[in-house]
C-alpha cells in the first residue's frame, strides 16, 4: 500500500490547523499581558533577556505589573486588547482539543503503517535531507525519497514538529502551572525555571509559525492544485476542483470561527467566560485539589525584587491603621461560624505560626520567591468553628478597586473565594510577615492570603474580614472573586 493520506489524516490535519490558529492567537494574548522575558524566576526589572515595550520599569516608585500589560492588536491576538481572561479560556480549550487530536493522530499512526511516513528508519535520511535542501536551493524540486510520498527533508521536518516540537510545547506549558510547580518544584527547573520555560514556550510558537510558513510555501512550490487536492482527498492524483473548493471552504470556516470568537468576546465577555472555561476548570480543579504544595526554597533563592499587583487602599480608615503599625487592627470573621470573631494579629499568632519560602506566580506571567510567615489557614479555620453549611471561605480586602484600578470599570472592594477543600490545603496561610519583616504595605499589610497552588490574584492582600458562606453567588457580581467578576478569570486557577 502506498503511503497516501487516509481520511483520518486529512481530518486530524485539518483540526490541527484549526486548534493551532486558536492556540497561537490566544497565546500571543497571554504573553502580551507581561511583555518582559527573564532568564531567572526573580523577574527583576532591568534584567530582561528581551521585552516588547520601550518603557522602562521605574525602581524609585510603586508600579504594579498590570500597568505594563500591552494593548494587543485584535488581528493578531485573541480576543485582543487587554483580554487575558478570555485569551486563557481559548488557549486552554484549544489546548485540550489539540492534545486530543494529537493523541488520536499518534495512536492511528502507530496502529497503521503510516508511522513510516514520519519516522525515519535509516540514518541515510540525513545525507538525503541535505541533498534535498541543496536541490531546493537550486530552485528545483527534489524527488520523493524511496517508498515515501515526499523527500527526506520533509520527513525530517515533519518528524521534528510532531515528535519534538509539539511535546516540548506541552512540557514547557505545564512548567508554568503554579499547581504543578508547587507540588514538583524540580519540574520547571528541568527547563531552567519558569521564566525560561515561558521563553521556550514563546520560541516554540515562533518555530511553529516558521514551520507553517515554509510548509505552506512548499505546498505552493510543489504545485498548488495537485497538492491541495491531495490535502483534501488523500491519495487522489491530479486536480479535483471540488476538492480544492472543499479545502478553501475549510480555511474559510477557520476564519469565520475566529471572527465569531472576537464577536463573542466583544458582545458578551461573560458568556465567553461561561461557555469556554468549564472544560479547563475541571482540569484546574483536579490539579489544585490533588497536587499539594511542598515548596522549600533556600533563603538564598529569595528574589531581590518582588513585583506587586494591586495598589494599596487609599482610604482614611486604612491609612489611620497603618500609621499606628496596625495596632488597632481586628480581623473580622463572620458568616457560617458558630460565633463571629474579631482577632488581633497577636490572637492570630497564638493560633499558630509557620514560615514558608515559596514561588509566587501572577496570571500575567511573572514570578518571585519570598518567605511568608503567618498562621496556616487549616489551623485558623479549626479555630473559627465553621458550621456544617460552610462551603467557601471569602476574603475581603480593604481596597476599593474603583479607586485603585478605575480603568477596568470594576467596582467594590477586592475579594476572592476559596473552596473549603483548597483552603485547608498545605502551605495555605494568612501571612503577616514577608522575608522576616512585618508585611510591607504594597504586599498586603497587615494580613494577606497565600495559596501556593494558585495564581497570584487569589491571594487577597489587606484582608479586612473573612466570611464563611454556603454560596458565593450573592457576593460581588457572583462569580467567586473580583477578578472573576471583572477580568473573566476562572475561580480555580492551578494553571
Ligand atoms: N486586595 C487585593 N489583593 C490582591 C490584589 C489586589 O488588587 N487587591 N491583586 C492580586 C494579584 S493579581 C496578585 S499577582 C497578587 C500580588 O501580590 P504582591 O503584590 O504581594 O506581589 O496579589 C493579589 N492580591
Ligand atoms: Mo496577578
For 237-269, write each residue's pLDDT tens digit: 677 788 888 889 999 999 999 999 999 999 999
Residue nearest to atom 15 of ligand 1 (CA): 456
387 CA → ligand 2 middle, Å = 32
Q: What kind and span of H or E run contains 20?
A: helix 7-32
What is the distance between the alpha carbons of residues 444 and 362, in angstroms, rounded to a whole number? 15
Query: What's the pLDDT at 427?
Result: 98
For ligand 1, whether the C-beta of 459 sits within 6 Å is yes
For ligand 1, whether the C-beta of 37 sits within 6 Å is no
Whether the CA torsion 335, 340, 346, 351 is positive or negative: it is: negative
313 CA → ligand 2 middle, Å = 17
Atom of ligand 1 nearest to the CA of 313: 1
Per-residue pLDDT at 4 exceeds 70: no
- Residue 235 binned pLDDT confidence (cut-offs 50, 70, 90): low
The torsion of the CA quartet 179, 183, 186, 188, rounded to 10 degrees, works out to 0
Query: What's the pLDDT at 219?
Result: 83
Residue nearest to atom 20 of ligand 1 (CA): 443
For ligand 1, whether the C-beta of 399 sits within 6 Å is yes
Query: What's the pLDDT at 78?
Result: 98
Q: Which ligand has the minimum distance to the alpha carbon of residue 397?
A: 1
In the numeric block, which cell numbers belong to residue 143?
A: 524527488
Atom of ligand 1 nearest to the CA of 368: 21
For ligand 1, whether the C-beta of 285 sits within 6 Å is no
- Residue 1 binned pLDDT confidence (cut-offs 50, 70, 90): very low
309 CA → ligand 2 middle, Å = 6
Whether the CA torsion 400, 327, 360, 178 is positive or negative: it is: negative
What is the distance between the alpha carbons of residues 348 and 432, in angstroms, rounded to a whole number? 10
Query: What's the pLDDT at 15?
Result: 97
For ligand 1, whether the C-beta of 395 sits within 6 Å is no
Under a CB-based contact definition with an 8 Å cutoff, are residues 125 and 152 in contact? yes
- Residue 7 binned pLDDT confidence (cut-offs 50, 70, 90): confident
Residue nearest to atom 24 of ligand 1 (CA): 460
Under a CB-based contact definition with an 8 Å cutoff, are residues 362 and 443 in contact? no
Tell me which DSSP letter residue 407 carries.
G
195 CA → ligand 1 middle, Å = 20
Atom of ligand 1 nearest to the CA of 462: 1
- Residue 162 binned pLDDT confidence (cut-offs 50, 70, 90): very high
What is the distance between the alpha carbons of residues 124 and 359, in angstroms, rounded to a whole number? 47
For ligand 1, whether the C-beta of 310 sits within 6 Å is yes
The phi and psi torsions of 335 (rounded to 5 degrees) equal 90, -140
- Residue 6 binned pLDDT confidence (cut-offs 50, 70, 90): confident
68 CA → ligand 1 middle, Å = 15
For ligand 1, whether the C-beta of 335 sits within 6 Å is no
- Residue 146 binned pLDDT confidence (cut-offs 50, 70, 90): confident
For ligand 1, whether the C-beta of 460 sits within 6 Å is yes
For ligand 1, whether the C-beta of 34 sits within 6 Å is no
Assign 436 to helix, strand or coil: coil
Percent of the chain surpassing pLDDT 70: 99
In the numeric block, which cell numbers belong to residue 297?
A: 526554597
What is the distance between the alpha carbons of residues 258 and 18, in angstroms, rounded to a whole number? 9
For ligand 1, whether the C-beta of 132 sits within 6 Å is no
Residue nearest to atom 10 of ligand 1 (CA): 457
318 CA → ligand 1 middle, Å = 17
pLDDT in tens, 261-320: 999 999 999 999 999 999 999 999 999 999 999 999 999 999 999 999 999 999 999 999
239 CA → ligand 2 middle, Å = 54
For ligand 1, whether the C-beta of 458 sits within 6 Å is no
**Pairing, β 367-376 against β 413-419:** unpaired
What is the distance between the alpha carbons of residues 181 and 174, in angstroms, rounded to a whole number? 9
Q: What is the mean pLDDT of the chain?
A: 95
For ligand 1, whether the C-beta of 457 sits within 6 Å is yes
**Pairing, β 448-450 against β 413-419:** unpaired
pLDDT in tens, 90-145: 999 999 999 999 999 999 999 998 898 899 999 999 999 999 999 999 999 999 88
Q: Which ligand has the minimum distance to the alpha carbon of residue 445?
A: 1
pLDDT in tens, 324-378: 999 999 999 999 999 999 999 999 999 999 999 999 999 999 999 999 999 999 9
Atom of ligand 1 nearest to the CA of 463: 1
Spell out the domains of the chain, with CATH numbers in brackets.
Answer: 7-286 (no CATH), 292-486 (3.90.420.10)
User: Quick one: average pLDDT of 76-86?
Assistant: 98
Under a CB-based contact definition with an 8 Å cutoff, are residues 20 and 99 in contact? no
Per-residue pLDDT at 226 exceeds 90: no
Per-residue pLDDT at 2 exceeds 60: no
Query: What's the pLDDT at 401?
Result: 97
For ligand 1, whether the C-beta of 369 sits within 6 Å is no
The phi and psi torsions of 43 (rounded to 5 degrees) equal 55, 45
User: Quick one: average pLDDT of 427-437?
Assistant: 98
pLDDT in tens, 394-422: 999 999 999 999 998 899 999 999 999 99
Q: Which ligand has the minimum distance to the alpha carbon of residue 43?
A: 1
Atom of ligand 1 nearest to the CA of 65: 14
457 CA → ligand 2 middle, Å = 5
User: Looking at 4-141, which runs of residues are DSSP E strands?
Assistant: 36-38, 48-51
Per-residue pLDDT at 236 exceeds 70: no
141 CA → ligand 1 middle, Å = 57
Assign 204 to helix, strand or coil: helix
Amino acid at each position: 500500500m502506498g503511503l497516501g493520506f487516509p481520511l483520518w489524516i486529512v481530518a486530524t490535519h485539518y483540526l490541527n490547523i484549526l486548534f493551532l490558529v486558536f492556540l497561537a492567537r490566544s497565546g500571543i494574548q497571554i504573553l502580551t499581558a507581561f511583555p518582559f522575558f527573564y532568564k531567572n524566576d526573580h523577574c527583576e526589572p532591568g534584567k530582561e533577556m528581551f521585552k516588547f515595550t520601550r518603557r522602562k520599569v521605574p525602581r524609585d516608585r510603586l508600579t504594579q505589573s498590570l500597568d505594563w500589560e500591552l494593548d494587543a492588536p485584535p488581528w493578531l491576538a485573541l480576543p485582543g486588547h487587554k483580554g487575558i481572561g478570555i485569551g486563557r479560556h481559548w488557549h486552554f480549550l484549544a489546548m485540550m482539543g489539540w492534545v486530543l487530536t494529537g493523541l488520536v493522530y499518534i495512536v492511528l499512526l502507530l496502529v497503521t503503517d503510516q508511522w513510516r511516513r514520519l519516522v525515519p528508519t535509516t540514518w541515510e535520511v540525513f545525507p538525503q535531507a541535505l541533498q534535498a535542501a541543496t536541490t531546493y536551493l537550486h530552485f528545483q524540486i527534489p524527488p520523493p525519497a524511496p517508498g515515501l510520498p515526499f523527500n527526506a527533508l520533509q520527513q525530517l521536518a515533519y518528524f521534528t514538529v510532531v515528535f519534538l516540537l509539539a511535546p516540548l510545547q506541552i512540557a514547557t506549558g505545564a512548567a508554568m502551572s503554579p499547581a504543578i510547580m508547587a507540588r514538583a518544584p524540580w519540574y520547571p527547573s528541568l527547563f531552567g525555571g519558569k521564566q525560561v520555560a515561558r521563553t521556550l514556550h514563546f520560541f516554540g510558537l515562533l518555530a511553529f509559525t516558521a514551520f507553517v510558513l515554509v510548509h505552506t510555501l512548499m505546498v505552493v512550490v510543489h504545485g498548488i492544485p495537485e497538492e491541495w487536492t491531495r490535502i483534501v482527498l488523500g491519495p487522489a492524483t491530479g486536480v479535483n476542483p471540488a476538492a480544492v473548493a472543499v479545502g478553501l471552504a475549510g480555511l474559510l470556516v477557520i476564519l469565520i470561527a475566529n471572527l465569531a470568537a472576537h464577536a463573542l468576546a466583544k458582545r458578551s465577555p461573560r458568556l465567553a467566560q461561561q461557555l469556554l472555561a468549564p472544560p479547563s476548570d475541571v482540569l484546574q480543579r483536579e490539579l489544585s485539589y490533588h497536587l499539594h504544595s511542598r515548596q522549600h526554597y533556600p533563603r538564598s533563592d529569595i528574589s531581590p525584587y518582588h513585583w506587586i499587583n494591586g495598589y494599596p487602599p487609599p482610604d482614611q480608615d486604612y491609612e489611620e491603621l497603618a500609621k499606628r503599625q496596625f495596632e488597632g487592627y481586628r480581623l473580622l470573621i463572620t458568616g457560617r461560624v458558630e460565633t463571629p470573631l474579631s482577632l488581633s494579629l497577636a490572637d492570630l499568632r497564638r493560633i499558630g505560626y509557620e514560615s514558608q519560602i515559596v514561588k509566587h506566580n501572577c496570571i500575567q506571567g511573572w514570578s518571585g520567591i519570598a518567605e511568608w510567615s503567618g498562621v496556616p489557614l487549616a489551623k485558623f479555620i479549626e479555630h473559627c468553628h465553621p458550621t456544617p453549611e460552610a462551603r467557601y471561605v471569602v476574603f475581603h480586602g480593604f481596597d476599593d478597586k474603583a479607586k485603585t484600578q478605575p480603568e477596568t470599570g470594576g467596582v467594590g472592594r477586592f475579594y476572592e473565594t476559596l473552596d473549603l477543600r483548597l483552603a485547608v490545603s498545605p502551605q495555605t496561610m494568612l501571612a503577616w510577615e514577608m522575608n522576616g519583616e512585618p508585611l510591607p504595605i504594597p504586599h498586603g499589610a497587615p494580613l494577606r492570603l497565600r495559596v501556593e497552588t494558585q495564581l497570584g490574584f487569589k491571594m487577597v492582600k489587606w484582608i479586612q474580614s473573612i466570611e464563611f458562606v454556603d454560596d458565593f453567588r450573592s457576593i460581588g457580581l457572583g462569580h467567586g472573586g473580583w477578578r472573576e467578576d471583572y477580568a473573566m478569570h476562572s475561580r480555580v486557577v492551578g494553571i
